[in-house]
Structures are given as C-alpha cells and as structure tokens.
C-alpha cells in the first residue's frame, strides 16, 4: 500500500524558513518523480515543485525561495521553504507521480497534507 506522510508544517513568521518532509512507502521510491502541491484556505490547487531524477521544476511563485530535494536512501522528499510570505499559507500535499511510457504523467497518490501558516 502506497503511503505518503508529510511533516514539518506549522506556524512561521513572515521572512522565516521551514522544511517539509514526506516519508514514502509502498512503492519503488527512486523510480518515481515526486511533487509538492499546495492549497490555500478555501482556494484551488497550485502546483509548487517537482523532482524527477536530478531535475527540478518550480512554480514561478516560489522560484528562488523554495527548493525541492530527495533522499532515496530514506525514501523521503523535502521542500525547503525560505523567505516565507503570508500568501504561502496553505496545506502542502506530497504527491507521487506516475509516468507511462515516459511521457504521460499524472498524480496517482497524495499525502494527507501538512498545514503551513505564515503569520506574525
């Protein structure tokens, strides 16, 4: 059974930093791209960052502030968030990607989410 368990959320002041972790199990971790998606309170889904092999991709809204990384020996993906702003307040979901024939990508498993609140 695939499990994605996020941790590290909490209350942080504007300008502060936080590191989210996502522990994965139930699949061959190093064969799958991993993604973070966030959802501000009462709002829609926003893609944040993806790590695929050694390549990383970031939304414009977080570029230069957030860094996604992974430790395949620990089956864990991270999101380092710096220079946090009020509009980063959201539930952050860790998401497993599945790729078919290397081109068809979609998010087949989601964690339960961890809440990040940026406020003074």
Partner 1 sequence: DIQMTQSPSSLSASVGDRVTITCRASQSVSSYLNWYQQKPGKAPKLLIYATSTLQSGVPSRFSGSGSGTDFTLTISSLLPEDFATYYCQQSYSPLYTFGQGTKVEIK
Choice between 44 and 120, CB closer to partner 1: 44
Q: In angstroms, what is the minimal distance from the CB of 65 to partner 1?
A: 16
Choice between 2 and 15, CB closer to partner 1: 2
Choice between 55 and 120, CB closer to partner 1: 55
Strand order in 66-71's β-sheet?
3-7, 18-25, 76-81, 66-71
Site residues for partner 1 per CB under 8 A: 35, 37, 44-47, 50, 52, 55, 57, 59-60, 93, 100, 103-108, 110-113
What does the DSSP 8-state code read for residue 98?
Answer: E
Please give the sequence-ordered ranges of beta strands (E in DSSP) within 2-63, or none if there are none.
3-7, 10-12, 18-25, 34-39, 45-52, 55-58
């Amino acid at each position: 059974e695939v499990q994605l368990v996020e941790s590290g959320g909490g209350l942080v002041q504007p300008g502060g930093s936080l590191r989210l972790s996502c522990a994965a199990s139930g699949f061959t971790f190093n064969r799958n791209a991993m993604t973070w998606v966030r959802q501000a309170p009462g709002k829609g889904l926003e893609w944040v960052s993806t790590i695929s092999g050694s390549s990383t991709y970031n939304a414009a809204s977080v570029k230069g502030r957030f860094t996604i990384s992974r430790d395949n020996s620990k089956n864990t993906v991270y999101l380092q968030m710096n220079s946090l702003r009020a509009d980063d307040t959201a539930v952050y979901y860790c998401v497993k990607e599945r790729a078919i024939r290397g081109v068809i990508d979609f998010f087949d498993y989601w964690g339960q989410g961890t809440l990040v609140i940026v406020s003074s």
